[in-house]
């Protein structure tokens, strides 16, 4: 007798590698592709806040771009992230979306956008999706956060978790400090990571926690962990773009590797421009200036008086 064939067995089950292959051919990285990267391929994530920087980060091949609320510090000049509003975040998210075609865009939900009520959290998360992001990130893993995350997921919005040093809790924590150094705090973070995994987060940022703890969490959860100051065992790494490029020096966390001194380069270029303006060498009259088709005609109309004598260069 023929054994019955269940229709689902006719559908090839997508393996991690086929999702990754699909990702290489696909325009935009997807949430399932990020999940499939766990233990297959390290994830490279960066922040970006505006059109030109997003375009550079995207074309360099970042898998995920986070429109982080760190923009409050590195772009808007606040001492922490607590002043950042939904309006700020949506404005910057739209600019980042316009500059990208490849990376998965994650919008960082700012302080008070998911703390007041579950309904408000879902509505705010939805605004990021309408702004063009594919997912949102939420800080913390305590039961109230899990409830909000569950409701956001129920609205078909993927959520990235974030535990350890959660900058929106800076006043409770008492500063930007290492978290989970001692066993009881480490246990709390493991429980939170497991809860975020179980509720359905597609990845979890681990910020400023000991390497051993990050390794243990990475092993225990089914989704990728993305570390920042969490050692090399995470499934991926993220840095704030302005830290990596040397564009922000108000804080210098130990975990930042500066790949460039862009701030110094920019200042030197600007000083050079100002010097050229003042010594009269910018703009060059032939290569950087426009000319009339017939200067003679202008002279005939107005005489030599139109030629304004410039001060002599020093």
Binding site for ligand KIV (CB under 6 A): 47, 66, 68-70, 108, 205, 207, 228, 238, 240
> Whose Cβ is closer to ligand KIV: residue 19's or residue 210's?
210
Residue 15 DSSP one-character state: P
Cβ atoms of 202 and 34 within 8 Å: the answer is yes
> In the annotation, is 120 catalytic?
no
Least separation in angstroms between residue 195's CB and ligand KIV is 19
Task: Give SS3 for 235.
Answer: coil
Nearer to ligand KIV, 34 or 228 (CB): 228
**Which residues of 50-134 form beta strands (DSSP E)?**
64-67, 104-108
The dihedral over CA atoms of 180, 183, 184, 187, expressed in degrees to the nearest 10, equals: 70
Q: What single DSSP character describes residue 282?
A: S
Residue of this chain nearest to ligand KIV (CB atom): 68
**Is the CB of 43 or the CB of 240 nearer to ligand KIV?**
240
Q: How far is the CB of 55 from ligand KIV (least distance, A)?
A: 18
**Of residues 156, 207, 261, 296, which has the active-site annotation?**
207
Smallest distance, ligand KIV to C-beta of residue 66, A: 6
CA distances, 36 to each of 56, 153, 259 (Å): 25, 19, 28
Element (H, E) at 269: helix 262-279
To ligand KIV, the closest distance from the beta carbon of 162 in angstroms equals 6
Shorter beta-carbon distance to ligand KIV: residue 29 or 111 = 111
Please identify, using beta-carbon distances, which residue of 29 and 48 lies nearer to ligand KIV.
48
DSSP run (H or E) holding 197? helix 183-199
Instruction: Name the minimum Å distance from CB 45 to ligand KIV.
Output: 8
**In the structure encoding, which two tokens stand for residue 147, read together?**
């409830």
Pairing relationship of beta strands 43-47 and 236-239 according to DSSP bridges: parallel
Collapsing DSSP to helix, strand or coil, 44 comes out as: strand
Q: Is there a contact between 166 and 195 (Cβ–Cβ < 8 Å)?
A: no
Nearer to ligand KIV by Cβ, of 19 and 205: the residue is 205
The pair phi, psi for residue 39, each rounded to 5°, is 60, 5
| Residue where the block lists tokens 């003042």 | 278
Closest to 108 measured CA to CA, from 40, 22, 45: 45
H-helix or E-strand spanning residue 45? strand 43-47
Q: Report which DSSP code applies to 251.
A: -
CB of 47 to ligand KIV, least distance (A): 4
Catalytic residues: 207
């Amino acid at each position: 007798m023929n054994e019955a064939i269940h229709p689902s067995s006719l559908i090839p089950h997508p393996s991690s590698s086929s999702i990754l292959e699909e990702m290489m051919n696909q325009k935009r990285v997807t949430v399932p592709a990020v999940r499939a990267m766990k233990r297959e391929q390290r994830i490279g994530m960066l922040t970006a806040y505006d059109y030109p920087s997003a375009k550079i980060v995207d074309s360099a091949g970042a898998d995920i771009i986070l429109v982080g609320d760190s923009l409050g510090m590195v772009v808007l000049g606040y001492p922490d992230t607590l002043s950042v509003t939904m309006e700020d975040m949506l404005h910057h998210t739209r600019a980042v979306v316009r500059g990208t075609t490849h990376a998965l865009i994650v919008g960082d939900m700012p302080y008070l956008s998911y703390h007041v009520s579950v309904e408000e959290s879902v509505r705010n998360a939805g605004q990021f999706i309408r702004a063009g992001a594919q997912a949102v990130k939420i800080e913390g893993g305590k039961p109230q956060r899990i409830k909000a995350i569950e409701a956001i997921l129920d609205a078909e919005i993927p959520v990235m978790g974030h535990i350890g040093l959660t900058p929106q809790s800076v006043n409770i924590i008492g500063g930007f400090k290492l978290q989970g150094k001692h066993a009881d705090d480490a246990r709390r973070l493991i429980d939170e990571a497991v809860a975020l995994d179980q509720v359905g987060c597609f990845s979890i940022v681990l910020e400023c926690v000991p390497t051993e703890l990050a390794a243990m969490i990475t092993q225990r959860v089914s989704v990728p962990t993305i570390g920042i100051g969490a050692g090399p065992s995470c499934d991926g790494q993220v840095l704030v773009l302005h830290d990596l490029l040397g564009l922000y020096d108000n804080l210098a966390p130990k975990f930042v590797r500066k790949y460039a001194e862009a701030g110094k380069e920019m200042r030197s270029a600007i000083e050079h421009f100002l010097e050229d303006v003042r010594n009269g060498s910018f703009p060059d009259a032939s290569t950087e200036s426009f000319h009339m088709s017939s200067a003679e005609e202008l002279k005939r109309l107005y005489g030599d008086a139109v030629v304004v004598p410039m001060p002599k260069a020093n």
